[in-house]
Structure 1
Amino acid sequence: MTRYARRTRRTVQVTGVGVAALLALSACSSGSDSSSKKGSSSASKDSAKKVTGTVTVFAAASLKESFTTLGKDFEKAHPGTKVTFSFGGSDTLAASITGGAPADVFAAASPKTMAIVTDKKDGKGTATAPSTFVRNQLEIATLPGNPDKVASLKDLTESGLKVVLCDKTVPCGAAAQKALDAGKLKLTPVSYEQDVKSALTKVELKEADAAVVYKTDVEAAGSKVEGVGFPESANAINDYPIALLKDAPNAEAAKEFIALVQSPEGQKVLTAAGFLKP
């Protein structure tokens, strides 16, 4: 065999080894990519974990309209789930939770009423760390057309007007008292109601001339009442906290509902109802 032939043969052998090495590297890379894709796909599936079952939400009465909408949105986004609500005065709801009522989520109209649940000493019905998701401001609800020409909080103190307030133990009542104190005003209502919806209903039924309620409730009532703003309300804005209850029967779904409330989509529903951003 000539020197040229031996050299050519050796070159072919080296080239063959190089090609084999490249193929092996390609196979490893392909396997790695495949493994990476599988891992990514698996992670994606985990992040989109399906939730099912009933989510029980205890929420302040002023959240009724917006939370009902969010509940329907949640059920639509998570087939197989159902959101049930218990709306009422925050203090009453807090007492029910600490008394052992089964619930997954608590949304209160003030940090003070949330504290009834979070500060429970025996650990029963306590909640995880709450977070503020909206704020709310007071407004005067009058009869349609405002026949009594109410233009200020001071006007409510005039004799002859039948005015309704929320009880001082519930957030809307505590806020109203704070506003009255800020204006150095004294008001004796014809009745104290256990939640803001009850106070508003008195005006809607023409059993009262006016009520101090939340702006969101005035907006929800539509043409049934007329709203009158007053500057003292700026001194009595309520923060609304939401929390997952530690003994939640359906904690995973409850977390997803809270996430919806805090999401841009949820905030859009709440601000459209008149709530202020936190």
Structure 2
Amino acid sequence: MTAPTPLPRRRLRTALCAALLVLPLAACGGGDGDGGSDGANGQAGAEVTVLAAASLTDVLEEAAPLFEQAHDGVDLRFSFAGSQELAAQVREGLPADVLVTADTTTMADVADRTGEPVVVATNELTLVTASGNPEGVADLADLARDDLTVVLAAPEVPVGRYGEQVLADAGVEVAPASLETNVRSVLTKVALGEADAGIVYASDAASVGDRVTAVPLPAERNVLAEYPAAVLTEAPHPEAAADFVAWLGSAEAAELFTAAGFRVP
């Protein structure tokens, strides 16, 4: 088996933070500050913790250096997971500054713990298969075939809920081999050949290049996933958090979202 590729520094820091969620997030900081003091540029020295949907992993890690360069002394720390897991962490009082989910329903579930959310990106679903589509998957109906191993996200996960919706609308019943806790787990199983097909976001399929083959859904069979971002009411660094949420709606961020396969409102 080929040895795993070492994680880049920011991804490694993110992975460590996610693994240590039971500990204070301050222990996972990547900057030299101690939480920082207020400054003219949105609390200079702040270590802003962002809880973000797993499908945003690549684009937000690319966005972070651009935001940090423009906001001297502010350091972004990410914890990526399924939106439902992030909402649970917010309800449990996990110290964090910003929440970005993959649907408005999950954000609404924690409305008493956030400021006014702003939709910063949108997405759509796609089928993914092993590279080259060796099983000839052409549409949603093929996911009901007995000879296919299909993985989906669990229904409490936004992409799983969206997937249930498009399958129900198409009248297709699927017996998935597993129900995953986030969209990246679905993508990984297909990319590794542990499943023949799955339903993910278009941006996730684009993120792994030719390791999978995307089979787009017709527009009339698809759904629009909205990504709202909000400052948490108990944010340790509310000014810097508000700066980041505002920046996610900027033209600079829109370019990154579009290049990564998302759409912008």
Q: Tell whether the structures are fold-level matches, with TM greater than 0.5.
A: yes
Contact 1:182-1:235 within 8 A present in 2 as well: no
Equivalent position of 1:6 in the other structure: none
**How far does residue 137 in structure 1 lie from its aligned partner after superposition?**
0.4
Contact 1:141-1:226 within 8 A present in 2 as well: yes
Look up the SS of the partner of 1:188 in the other structure: coil
Contact 2:42-2:239 within 8 A present in 1 as well: no
Select 1:201's aligned residue among 173, 188, 191. Answer: 188
Select 2:93's aligned residue among 89, 94, 100. Answer: 100
1:247 pairs with 2:234:
yes
| CA distance in 2 between partners of 1:205 and 1:58 (Å) | 27
Equivalent position of 1:260 in the other structure: 247
Alignment length, in residue pairs?
227
Equivalent position of 1:144 in the other structure: 131
**How far does residue 150 in structure 1 lie from its aligned partner after superposition?**
0.8
Which structure has the larger Rg?
Answer: 1
Q: Deviations over 1:155-189 (max 9, x none)?
A: 11111100000000010000000000111111111
| CA distance in 1 between partners of 2:129 and 2:55 (Å) | 18
Higher helix proportion (structure 1 or 2): 1
| CA distance in 1 between partners of 2:61 and 2:136 (Å) | 34
Gap regions ≥5 residues in structure 1: 1-45, 121-125
| CA distance in 1 between partners of 2:200 and 2:101 (Å) | 16
| CA distance in 2 between partners of 1:114 and 1:98 (Å) | 11
- With structure 2 as the length reference, what TM-score do the two structures score? 0.82
Q: Deviations over 1:68-106 (max 9, x none)?
A: 111111112223221000000000100001100011000
Contact 2:125-2:222 within 8 A present in 1 as well: no
| CA distance in 1 between partners of 2:257 and 2:126 (Å) | 17
Q: Which amino acid aligns with 1:196?
A: V
Contact 2:118-2:230 within 8 A present in 1 as well: yes
Q: Pairwise CA RMSD of aligned residues?
A: 1.6
Gap regions ≥5 residues in structure 2: 1-38
1:89 pairs with 2:82:
yes
Look up the SS of the partner of 1:137 in the other structure: strand
Select 1:55's aligned residue among 32, 45, 48. Answer: 48
- With structure 1 as the length reference, what TM-score do the two structures score? 0.78
Contact 2:83-2:158 within 8 A present in 1 as well: yes
| CA distance in 1 between partners of 2:79 and 2:220 (Å) | 27
Equivalent position of 1:116 in the other structure: 109
Look up the SS of the partner of 1:115 in the other structure: helix
